[in-house]
């Protein structure tokens, strides 16, 4: 299940700084005293469509269901494709439910058609326009993180030149994000070998070179299991540059417990490190219908049972 499919499914269901003061993004008050069915140790973020068999197709009803089941954040890759009115409704319901906004994807960011590695100014301008619009989107939902992927290799250029182009482009994006407290989180992916950004160490190196609090790592546990393994050691090595985590078991890219990753151990390790950010549930349901949605909730209860 690739990012494009996640964005498409999220859109169909409705019709991504370490911290930020609420007043920066619209003065939305964040936490409430809602009592939920489950009391998770960590801040898990479902996406729209994940519980539609229980909650229906209405996005606000889905958010209410997530909160009722103990989930304390939302992840919506396709947020920028929604109308400003819907974005505001989502932001308002998140505040009422005491939920955080996880990542959304920066539209017109790096991809195969306009990769940062090429060093072309027209590609950079497309990305910077996306960054400016991402700031406005973030204001409506009190978002702190936005996902950026640099795109594909430019095979005609030496690797060092490609990396320099990526760093320069990201520095310019960080200049837009940093005054607003918004962080672009760079995600190394496993979807295709054409993608430039592949490993946590490579992403760590780039974040250090960009040298901005507005450029950090999105550590997707599913992708990193596929590309490099040795998950806990690699998280430890890159810890200072990680701002956000995503979840998905391998193989299958479904909920924890459906594959080979020991999520209970990984969650305990990250919890013990003191991480209090969001874990985006960027995966599918292994079983369809209401039965699958309940199985997903039970899977998170089991993986979260590490204390």
Compute the distance between CA of residue 109 and CA of residue 112 in angstroms, rounded to an integer. 10
Peptide bond preceding 85: is omega within 30 degrees of 0, i.e. cis? no
- Please name which of 112, 90, 110 lies closest in space to residue 100, comparing C-alpha atoms: 90
Question: Would you state the structure tokens that stand for residue 52, as one six-digit string?
Answer: 């539609």
For residue 33, give the DSSP letter: -
Question: Which residues are bridge partners to 74 per DSSP?
Answer: 101
Convert 273-306 to b/e letters by CB count within 10 Å (16 or more is b): eebebbbbbbbbbbeeeeebbbbbbebbeebbeb
Q: CB-hemisphere CA count at 13 Å for 133? A: 19
Rounded alpha-carbon distances, angstroms, from residue 306 to 167, 254, 259, 298, 302: 38, 20, 18, 14, 8
Active-site entry in 75, 187, 241, 293? 187
Catalytic residue among 75, 241, 255, 282, which?
282
- Give the separation between CA 189 and CA 197, rounded to whole angstroms: 7
Q: Crossing angle, helix 59-68 and helix 84-97, to 10 degrees?
A: 20
User: What does the alpha-carbon distance between residue 189 and residue 160 come to, in Å, rounded to a whole number?
Assistant: 20
96 close to 29: Cβ distance less than 8 angstroms: no
Clarify whether 282 is annotated catalytic.
Answer: yes
Task: Compute the distance between CA of residue 77 and CA of residue 105 in angstroms, rounded to an integer.
Answer: 5
- Asked if 175 and 215 touch (Cβ cutoff 8 Å), the reply is no
Report, as residue numbers or ranges, the catalytic residues: 187, 282
């Amino acid at each position: 299940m690739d990012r494009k499919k996640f964005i498409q499914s999220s859109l169909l269901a409705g019709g991504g700084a370490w911290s930020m003061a609420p007043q920066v993004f619209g003065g939305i008050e964040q936490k409430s005293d809602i009592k939920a069915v489950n009391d998770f140790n960590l801040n898990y973020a479902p996406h729209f469509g994940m519980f539609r068999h229980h909650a229906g197709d209405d996005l606000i009803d889905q958010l209410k269901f997530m909160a009722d089941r103990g989930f304390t954040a939302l992840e919506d890759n396709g947020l920028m494709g929604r109308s400003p009115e819907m974005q505001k409704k989502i932001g308002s319901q998140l505040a009422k439910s005491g939920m955080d906004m996880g990542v959304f994807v920066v539209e017109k960011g790096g991809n195969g058609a306009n990769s940062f590695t090429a060093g072309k100014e027209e590609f950079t301008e497309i990305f910077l326009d996306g960054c400016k619009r991402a700031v406005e989107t973030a204001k409506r939902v009190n978002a702190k993180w936005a996902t950026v992927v640099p795109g594909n290799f430019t095979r005609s250029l030496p690797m060092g030149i490609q990396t320099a182009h990526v760093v320069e482009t990201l520095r310019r994006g960080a200049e837009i994000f940093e005054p607003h407290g918004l962080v672009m989180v760079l995600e190394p992916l496993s979807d295709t070998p054409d993608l430039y950004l592949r490993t946590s160490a490579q992403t760590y190196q780039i974040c250090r070179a960009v040298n901005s609090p507005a450029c950090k790592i999105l550590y997707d546990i599913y992708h990193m299991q596929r590309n490099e393994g040795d998950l806990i050691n690699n998280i430890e090595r890159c810890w200072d540059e990680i701002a956000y985590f995503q979840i998905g078991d391998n193989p299958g890219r479904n909920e924890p417990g459906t594959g080979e990753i020991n999520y209970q151990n990984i969650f305990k390790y990250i919890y013990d490190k003191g991480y209090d950010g969001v874990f985006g549930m960027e995966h599918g349901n292994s079983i369809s219908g209401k039965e699958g949605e309940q199985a997903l909730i039970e899977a998170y209860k089991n993986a979260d049972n590490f204390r």
